[in-house]
Amino acid sequence: MSLTLYNTLTGKKEEFKPLEAGKVRMYNCGPTVYNYVHIGNLRAYVFVDVLRRTLEWNGYKVMQVMNITDVGHLTSDADAGEDKMMRALKREGKPFTLQGMREIADIYTKAFKDNLRMLNIREPEYMPRASDHITEDIELVQELLKKGFAYNTADGIYFDTSKFPEYGKLGNINLEGQKAGARVETNPEKKNAIDFTLWKFAKPELPAFPSPFGPGFPGWHLECSAMSRKYIGQPFDIHTGGVDHIPTHHQNEIAQSEAAYGTVLARYWLHNEHLVVPAGKMAKSEGNAITLHTLRERGIHPLAYRYYVLQAHYRSPLNFSWSALESAQKSYFKLLLSLSPGLSHPLPSVSNSAIDSAIAADLDTPRILATVWELVKEKKYATVFDADRILGLDIKNQSRKLLEEMGAVPEEVKRLSLEREEAREREDFKKSDEIRVEIQKAGFEVMDTDSGPIVRKRM
């Protein structure tokens, strides 16, 4: 079965053809571990997981790399502001040392990996940390200096974008718009407004890495180029990231990698859209970030959030609301209960052309979910379980777990649930809400569905 993907580089859907038959090498922009990732960040990693599962469904062996940025990511793509890890050191009262940065990174890297597990996202083969690859960064800067693509200024070494005529080719970026002030001019020594830092010289009081150019730290963009080349070579098949990476970060990766080594960086570039809240995209800097921990406190199962994300195509903005998320959770649990007969009476999986075509058409997860519900009506449970190899909702295990949880509800809580249903039938919603609180105090929660209430232990 052929697979069609939307390639930001060409601006169109293309049939995917790997560089090497049967194998795919893929690089995913990972988190900057200066704080907890929010659910908008996590949408990107759900998308990447679906992409990997789709490739494996198509018989490819996937070599996946996702970086961990623990140095070099400034608070602005315009090479302005302080390093985000420095900001974390201030916030948490850690010493301004490389060891202090490591401790911060360890905390939030572990939290990120915990989030991946809760969302049933498989860890990549490699998750390299930027601070462990300074040698590779230095080698790349030296190569660019030798070939005349880089130059020195008082505050660092910059890439000369005028020497790379293809700059802006990803997504056909309007460079005049960039030059007119899309990035803040912070260094009057820069030859061009859109030139970017390869190596930033550190102030004396700040932690820094030694280098032939002077103590400092690598540019955020440089790190991805160095690490992708080390682990999967150049060129490789697929590079992913959020749409916000297109104008600057990914343009810079392409420019420095291709200028240094004379070959394309990646053949297919895939970008996911944002999770949108009323104020705009969700971001820690905007103060509107919601973490997976926040969802769990609100009684939302992490895999219900995954279901919520899969209801929208990865290239479509997803408008966030609590009511929509709660509705997705109801649908997810209804799906789990609907599949319970298939746990004890398995039937052979049946090939389904609707699922195959949805998978092949640029990862159309909304169509796959719609097909899954049709299969449930037809009692083709094994085919649904098979489709979950793509969706990653862990429905077989979670269906068993939900049945066990519902079976383990104490009689007193069951009695309260029954009283609550009777109150709802009488439209005595005040009494119903009071009983819900009693159930919660007992350590359980009740969720109303069109198939009746689901009572389970609180997370």
Angle at 330 between CA 329 and CA 334, to 5 degrees: 115
Q: Is 110 annotated as a binding residue?
A: no
Q: Is 249 annotated as a binding residue?
A: yes
Q: Is 224 annotated as a binding residue?
A: yes
At 41, the amino acid letter reads: N
Q: Is 29 annotated as a binding residue?
A: yes
Phi and psi (nearest 5°) for 455? -110, 130
3-class DSSP string for the chain: CCCEEEECCCCEEEECCCCECCEEEEEECCCECCCCCCHHHHHHHHHHHHHHHHHHHCCCEEEEEECEECCCCECCCCCCCCEHHHHHHHHHCCCCCHHHHHHHHHHHHHHHHHHHHHCCCCCCCECCEHHHCHHHHHHHHHHHHHCCCEEECCCEEEECHHHCCCCCCCCCCCHHHHHHHHCCCCCCCCCCCCCEEEEEECCCCCCCECCCCCCEEECHHHHHHHHHHHHHCCCEEEEEEEHHHHHHHHHHHHHHHHHHHCCCCEEEEEEECCEEECCEECCHHHCCCCCHHHHHHCCCCHHHHHHHHHCCCCCCCEECCHHHHHHHHHHHHHHHHHCCHHHHCCCCCCCCHHHHHHHHECCCHHHHHHHHHHHHHCCCHHHHHHHHHHHCCCHHHHHHHHHHHHHCCCHHHHHHHHHHHHHHHCCCHHHHHHHHHHHHHCCEEEEEECCEEEEEECC
Q: Is 405 annotated as a binding residue?
A: no
Q: Which two tokens stand for residue 334?
A: 């209804």
Q: Write out the binding residues for ATP.
A: 284
Q: Write out the binding residues.
A: 29, 224, 249, 253, 284
Q: Write out the binding residues for Zn(2+).
A: 29, 224, 249, 253
